[in-house]
Amino acid sequence: MHLVDGMPPARGEGVRLRKPSRVAMLSMHTSPLEQPGTGDAGGMNVYIIELARQLAALGTEVEVFTRAVSSRLPPTAEIVPGVTVRHVPAGPYEDIGRAELPAWLCAFTADVLRTEAGYEAGWFDVVHSHYWLSGQVGRSVARRWGVPLVHTSHTLAKVKNASLADGDRPEPELRLRGEQAVIDSASRLIASTQTERRHLTDLYGAAPSRVDVVAPGVDLDVFRPDGPRPPGGDDRGASDRGPDSGARAARVRLGFDPDTQILLFVGRIQPLKAPDVLLAAAADLIHRDPRRRGRLAVVVVGGPSGSGLERPDSLVKLAAELGIADIVHFQPPVPQEQLADWYRAATAVVVPSHSESFGLVAVEAQACGTPVVAAAVGGLCTAVEHGTSGVLVHGWNPADYADALERILTEERWRRHLSAGARARAAGFGWSATARGVLASYQAAATAVPRALAG
């Protein structure tokens, strides 16, 4: 622990940290090692692992505590020097639904406390919880250790319930109460956008002075129009290959004709993410111009999640009902390097979610130079600059998405304008900046007695 006056504090005192030495990061319901795009794994998984890596690079060690879903998992796994993932035995060794996880909060908390008890006093300087379930654990361990609790919600129940998709279930009262308790007791809250900050203050009564806005990042070395950065970071010649060279080459690598126009959806297949809107919009586009069928492809990269698990074949059936099964391609979730190729290959990426705290897919796509057509909700209004890096659509009428996509597909000048704007927009989001912002939030949390101790 780095101290202002160089003297170690009595345990439990509020102290001002120059920079925390060690952070206990809590991610109970999903492991940062899981492949994003299916089950409960998504943008939060990417956020946690990338943030942890950057914090370690800045000299702050991170231990991530997550629930073990298999007895074959090692108790600990070092990701990079300074980042360790701990698999906590709490509940059955299998994936279980989020509705069942509250029953295992006490077991998870007890194991986290046992781990810390094996260290010297004051081992962790900060607890950083992700999602409300981990926040419940964070309240207990931060109070016991006498350290600040910093919390990132990632999604908010009241926001989700206000914009439910057809066929989706509202978040239960248990989550609403638990989420409120975490927000009330955390020393600091980290919001991804100003919109999320307003949600925290207006819907949950969080004091504005306790909410820090820190945008998530994107790996700009992986998500690039012309492929991963060459060894040594030498980009000479990259700008000479033409704006479409990366897209055409990526299509060939993925098994498509280089002239194919690809509309891409990336994410978990569930009503909240609304991939059905893209399929209906594609059917509309073909209805407007039947000749388009021969050169258009719709690609869905992801797997069923949440309430989507109840109807895992719903999109396959919808494609058949719409008469476009021949042009719709379903791909399982893929690692980031392969995902970047899908973004490069796409003519446009569609993000029609009913709610998004940020919209990492939109930023990743833009970093690859691909325009985004997204719902004008939540963090997507920050991630996408309307008319510059993509198009924001109000509502979920497939015809409105078809209008936006048709212009991108048919007007080359407009598409290139958006592509250039997409790259510029994404350049402002980097994980190193995210880590520095989070460190500043940790510092602010440590300047006063933690609220968990006061309450």
Residue stretches of the annotated binding site for 1D-myo-inositol 3-phosphate: 29, 40-45, 98, 131, 155, 175
Residues 302 and 391 in one domain: yes
Does 308 score more than 60 pLDDT?
A: no
Q: Give the pLDDT of residue 454.
A: 43
Residues 192 and 298 in one domain: no
Q: Give the pLDDT of residue 128.
A: 98
Residues 282 and 303 in one domain: yes
Is 152 contained in some domain?
Answer: yes
Lowest mean per-residue pLDDT among 57-61, 70-74, 187-191:
70-74
Does 173 score more than 50 pLDDT?
A: yes
Lowest mean per-residue pLDDT among 56-70, 236-250, 367-381:
236-250
Q: What is the CATH number of the domain that holds 245?
A: 3.40.50.2000
In the predicted model, what is the mean pLDDT of residues 171-185?
96
Residue stretches of the annotated binding site for UDP-N-acetyl-alpha-D-glucosamine: 35-36, 43, 268, 273, 334, 356, 364
Does 116 score more than 50 pLDDT?
A: yes
pTM equals: 0.86
In the predicted model, what is the mean pLDDT of residues 222-228?
85
In the predicted model, what is the mean pLDDT of residues 200-215?
97
Given a contact cutoff of 8 angstroms between Cβ atoms, the answer to whether 160 and 150 are in contact is: no
Residues 414 and 446 in one domain: no
Q: How many structural domains does the chain have?
A: 2
Residues 315 and 297 in one domain: yes
In the predicted model, what is the mean pLDDT of residues 207-232?
87
Q: Give the pLDDT of residue 450.
A: 47
Question: What domain range includes position 256?
Answer: 231-429
Report which of residues 38 and 382 the model is more confident about: 382
Report which of residues 4 and 429 the model is more confident about: 429
Residues 363 and 257 in one domain: yes
Is 442 contained in some domain?
Answer: yes
Is 331 contained in some domain?
Answer: yes
In the predicted model, what is the mean pLDDT of residues 369-398?
97
In the predicted model, what is the mean pLDDT of residues 210-237?
79
Q: Give the pLDDT of residue 452.
A: 43
Is 73 contained in some domain?
Answer: yes
Does 240 score more than 60 pLDDT?
A: no
**SS3 sequence of the chain:** CCECCCCCCCCCCCCCECCCCEEEEECCCCCCCCCCCCCCCCHHHHHHHHHHHHHHHCCCEEEEEEECCCCCCCCEEEEECCEEEEEECCCCCCCCCHHHHHHHHHHHHHHHHHHHHCCCCCCCCEEEEEHHHHHHHHHHHHHHHCCCEEEECCCCHHHHHHCCCCCCCCCCHHHHHHHHHHHHHCCEEEECCHHHHHHHHHHHCCCHHHEEECCCCCCCCCCCCCCCCCHHHCCCCHHHCCCCHHHHHHHHHCCCCCCCEEEEEECCECHHHCHHHHHHHHHHHHHHCHHHHHHEEEEEECCECHHHHHCCCHHHHHHHHHCCCCCEEEECCCCHHHHHHHHHHCCEEEECCCCCCCCHHHHHHHHCCCCEEEECCCCHHHHCCECCCEEEECCCCHHHHHHHHHHHHHCHHHHHHHHHHHHHHHCCCCHHHHHHHHHHHHHHHCCCCCHHHHC
Residue stretches of the annotated binding site for Mg(2+): 343-344, 346, 370
Report which of residues 70 and 79 the model is more confident about: 79
Is 222 contained in some domain?
Answer: no
Q: Give the pLDDT of residue 37.
A: 54
Is 111 contained in some domain?
Answer: yes
Q: Give the pLDDT of residue 96.
A: 83
Is 10 contained in some domain?
Answer: no
Q: Give the pLDDT of residue 233.
A: 55
Residues 189 and 247 in one domain: no
Residue stretches of the annotated binding site: 29, 35-36, 40-45, 98, 131, 155, 175, 268, 273, 334, 343-344, 346, 356, 364, 370
Residues 167 and 264 in one domain: no
In the predicted model, what is the mean pLDDT of residues 184-210?
97
Mean pLDDT of the chain: 89
